[in-house]
Structure 1
Amino acid sequence: MLVLHHTDKDSRNYRGHSEIARAIDNVLIAVKDKKASNEHKTVVNVRKPKSRHGANNEDLLAFEFGSKTEMDKFFFLKR
């Protein structure tokens, strides 16, 4: 099962009732990297603050997507 939910204002922690967090095995938080993103690309960092069966507070991956210019094709890259 996948549950999508919002984070707090700082995008550091999940928000909502604590029952949600207790029922979920893994929590992933995706945050836009505002310094690395620009008008043509968006960079997103994904971390795992909670894992019932593994390490917590891991940076899992970073990816970027967009186009180099308005005329270029869409791209999606793992960083």
Structure 2
Amino acid sequence: MNALRTFFASVSEANQRVALIQQPWLEDFVHWCGDGEDAVLHGHRSFRGKRSPAVTSSGWCLGMSRSARRVDEVPEHAR
């Protein structure tokens, strides 16, 4: 039963990420992404609601994937 629950959580997270990728303007809303000490504040527009639509239930946002991609695109010798 636990494996099934984990599978459905993974599918839900993937669907939320796809939705955010298809709506990049949501990244403009102020939101915390990440978890714990690694949390970073993104965005510049306020959102009136319980939680920002720019973050998945696990705390992932489109800005996190962009910043990770930028680091990966920099050659090792240039870091």
TM-score between both structures, scaled by the size of structure 2: 0.24
- Structure 1 or 2: larger helix share? 2
- Structure 1 or 2: larger strand share? 1
Higher RCO (CA 8 Å, separation ≥ 6 residues): 2
